[in-house]
């Protein structure tokens, strides 16, 4: 295994977003010592061809990493299939991976934090995921904490944990319902993760992330999250596969090093869970959704 975890970057048809992602990633303290694997998906429709070509021309010129490997799909795989295949392939080879998408801006010490966390918790079987984005902006959260919740914006995992990933959404839902865990999975009813899983089963979304979240949740495996954001998502402009509008998930980058504390005992931080439940209650209750819809309508956005 290499000294530092390889970075897997998944790109499609957003050259301007990708350029911002790369500029900040190249500025990371460990970029020059990290191997970068870029997965470029082929165009899904003719109107995407030009943007995909622009992205591919750009990634061939990237420098600043220990090595760069390009995987250019000859047909459109979609984000879920790409991530599942890419993570499965590389985590089995390297034992650990850091995963990025093409709409994420990183703080300068993002790679340092992820590698420190991967090393610190490498032998802790109850920690299976690392997430470096905080969008709650809740000052009560500590620098790091353990929670049964997996974010998908700038994350990392180990081979031992990825083995729990179950792509069968129907089976995951069956277990959640059989064990009466749906309300807990939904952060005490404050966010519809179970509904997302049902929609994945019905083919109404193709989310790999909801299946990863459910897989670790059912296995009682925790995520190490940050209360200071090392990631900023710039994809909430309608350009992404699963990104809608608005500033619901805005974050302010933490520009200083973030130290790792090895928590003991290894258990969920209930106050952190309550903070997430408060955030989702505030942003996903009926009134909040109604106000957002009114604001969009006033701006001339009549979409769903």
Q: Domain residues of the chain, as ranges?
A: 7-164+219-298
Q: In angstroms, what CA-CA distances link 222 with 155, 156, 172, 176, 274?
A: 13, 13, 17, 17, 15
Q: Shortest CA distance to 165 belongs to which of 86, 74, 226, 259?
A: 86
- Contacting residues for 135 by C-beta, under 8 A, at least 6 apart: 229, 233, 248, 249, 250, 251, 279
pLDDT for the residue numbered 105 = 97
User: pLDDT at residue 303 above 90?
Assistant: no
What gap in Å lies between CA 228 and CA 42, rounded to an integer?
35
Percentage of the chain lying above the pLDDT 90 cut: 86
Q: pLDDT tens across 49-58, in order?
A: 999 999 999 9
Structure token pair of residue 223 = 């995520």
* Average pLDDT score over residue span 62-75: 98
The most distant pair of C-alpha atoms in the chain lies apart, rounded to whole Å, by 54
Per-residue confidence at 295, pLDDT binned at 50, 70, 90?
low
What gap in Å lies between CA 283 and CA 259, rounded to an integer?
30
* Fold classified for 7-164+219-298: Spore Coat Polysaccharide Biosynthesis Protein SpsA; Chain A (3.90.550)
* Average pLDDT score over residue span 160-173: 98
* Average pLDDT score over residue span 124-141: 96
pLDDT for the residue numbered 245 = 46
* Average pLDDT score over residue span 140-152: 97
- Which strand (E) or helix (H) includes residue 287? helix 286-298
User: pLDDT at residue 206 above 80?
Assistant: yes
pLDDT for the residue numbered 38 = 98
What gap in Å lies between CA 109 and CA 24, rounded to an integer?
10
* Average pLDDT score over residue span 11-19: 98
Length of the chain measured in residues: 304
Residues 143 and 261: beta-carbon distance below 8 Å: yes
Residues 210 and 193: beta-carbon distance below 8 Å: yes
Residues 280 and 187: beta-carbon distance below 8 Å: yes
DSSP for 153-201 reads SSEEEEHHHHTT----HHHHHHHHHHTT-HHHHTTTTTS-HHHHHHHHH
* Average pLDDT score over residue span 186-195: 96
Residues 223 and 127: beta-carbon distance below 8 Å: yes
DSSP state at residue 66: S
pLDDT for the residue numbered 297 = 52
Helix ranges (H only) for 27-143 are: 49-59, 79-94, 110-120
pLDDT for the residue numbered 193 = 97
* Average pLDDT score over residue span 297-301: 56
User: pLDDT at residue 28 above 90?
Assistant: yes
Structure token pair of residue 17 = 């977003």
Question: Could you tell me the pTM of the whole model?
Answer: 0.91
Residues 90 and 78: beta-carbon distance below 8 Å: no
Per-residue confidence at 293, pLDDT binned at 50, 70, 90?
low
pLDDT for the residue numbered 244 = 47
pLDDT for the residue numbered 176 = 98
Answer with the residue of higher pLDDT: 303 or 275. 275
């Amino acid at each position: 295994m290499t000294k530092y975890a390889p970075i897997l970057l998944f790109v499609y048809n957003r050259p301007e977003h990708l350029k911002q992602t790369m500029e900040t990633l190249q500025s990371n303290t460990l970029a020059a010592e990290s191997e970068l694997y870029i997965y470029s998906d082929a165009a899904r429709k003719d109107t995407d061809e030009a943007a995909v070509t622009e992205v591919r021309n750009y990634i061939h010129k990237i420098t600043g990493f220990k090595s760069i490997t390009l995987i250019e799909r000859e047909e459109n795989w979609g984000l879920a299939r790409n991530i599942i295949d890419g993570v499965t392939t590389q985590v089995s080879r390297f034992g650990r991976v850091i995963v990025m998408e093409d709409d994420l801006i990183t703080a300068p010490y993002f790679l340092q934090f992820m590698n420190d966390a991967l090393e610190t918790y490498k032998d802790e079987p109850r920690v299976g995921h690392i997430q470096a984005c905080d969008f709650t902006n809740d000052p009560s959260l500590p620098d790091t904490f353990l929670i049964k919740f997996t974010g998908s914006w700038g994350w990392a995992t180990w081979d031992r944990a990825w083995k729990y990933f179950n792509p069968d959404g129907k089976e995951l839902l069956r277990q959640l319902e059989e064990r009466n865990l749906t309300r807990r999975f939904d952060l005490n009813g404050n966010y519809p993760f179970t509904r997302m899983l049902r929609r994945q089963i019905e083919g109404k979304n193709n989310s790999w992330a909801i299946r990863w979240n459910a897989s670790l949740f059912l296995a009682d495996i925790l995520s190490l999250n940050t209360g200071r954001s090392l990631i900023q998502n710039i994809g909430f402009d309608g350009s992404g596969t699963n990104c809608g509008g608005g500033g619901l998930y805005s974050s302010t980058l933490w520009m200083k090093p973030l130290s790792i504390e090895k928590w003991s005992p290894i258990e969920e931080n209930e106050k952190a869970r309550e903070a997430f439940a408060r955030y989702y209650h505030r942003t996903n209750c009926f009134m909040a959704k109604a106000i957002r819809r009114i604001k969009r309508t006033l701006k001339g956005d009549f979409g769903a």
